[in-house]
Amino acid sequence: MKRIQLAVHMNARGRECLYGEGFCSTDEHLESIKEAFRKINIEYSEPFFCIAVYRKDEDLHDIKLPIVRAFGAPVILKPSILNRIQVACAYDIQNGASPENNYDIRSIFRNLQNVSDKEAVLLELLTMRIPQSWSEARVFGCLTESDVLEDRYRQDYSAAESLMDFDESEEDTL
């Protein structure tokens, strides 16, 4: 991976799972995600984990990022994870699939199961990302410790959780 970075953002409980039995994500809007996947010819599968996709020059630890505030500090993944990605979306998958948002599923989702240059497709999706969201990819299976390249908060889970409490009104004091 020369042009992108992959990370899973998680709180203290997520890290406990990751360094224990493994970390898996869940879907809140299961039926809309199944429908979105059907439209791009991919079968919905569990377990899975969701990955935030970034350009190489982006700061994954920026506390102003919506995903950091929603889910916590990033666990940066090894480049080999790229080969395991099955599906990706220009936005976060739950919101991208939501019928309330009325997005054109075929324009913002990509089936990557048989794609050889996944990095190029992810870069394309990053150009469509909207500021209040993040581009997301999904791997079927659970994330394990062997998938981790870097985790600044491995020894202090509570510090990772504190990033979720960021208040933009305090931004000038940082």
Residue-wise pLDDT for 155-167, tens only, equals 765 555 555 554 5
pLDDT > 90 fraction of the chain, expressed in percent and rounded: 75
pLDDT computed for residue 3 by the predictor: 95
**Alpha-carbon gap, residue 67 to 150, rounded angstroms:** 18
- Is 66 inside any structural domain? yes
- Is 51 inside any structural domain? yes
Q: Which of 84, 145, 89 is nearest to 113 (CA)?
A: 84
The pLDDT tens digits for 72-102 are 899 999 999 999 999 999 999 999 999 999 9
- Is 165 inside any structural domain? no
pLDDT > 70 fraction of the chain, expressed in percent and rounded: 89
- Is 38 inside any structural domain? yes
Residue 23 pLDDT class (50, 70, 90 cuts): very high
The pLDDT tens digits for 25-47 are 999 999 999 999 999 999 999 99
- Is 94 inside any structural domain? yes
Domain count, the chain: 1
Q: What angle do CA 73, 56, 116 make, to 5 degrees?
A: 105
- Is 137 inside any structural domain? yes
Tokens of 22: 């493994």
Contact 73, 63 (CB under 8 A): no
Query: For the ranges 15-19, 28-32, 69-73, which has the lowest average pLDDT?
Result: 69-73
- Answer yes or no: pTM beyond 0.85: yes
Residue 174 pLDDT class (50, 70, 90 cuts): very low
Contact 83, 118 (CB under 8 A): yes
- Is 161 inside any structural domain? no
- Is 158 inside any structural domain? no
Strand order from edge to edge, sheet including 109-111: 109-111, 85-89, 135-140, 48-55, 4-9, 74-77, 148-150
Its domain, for residue 139, covers 4-153
Q: What is the mean pLDDT of residues 117-132?
A: 95
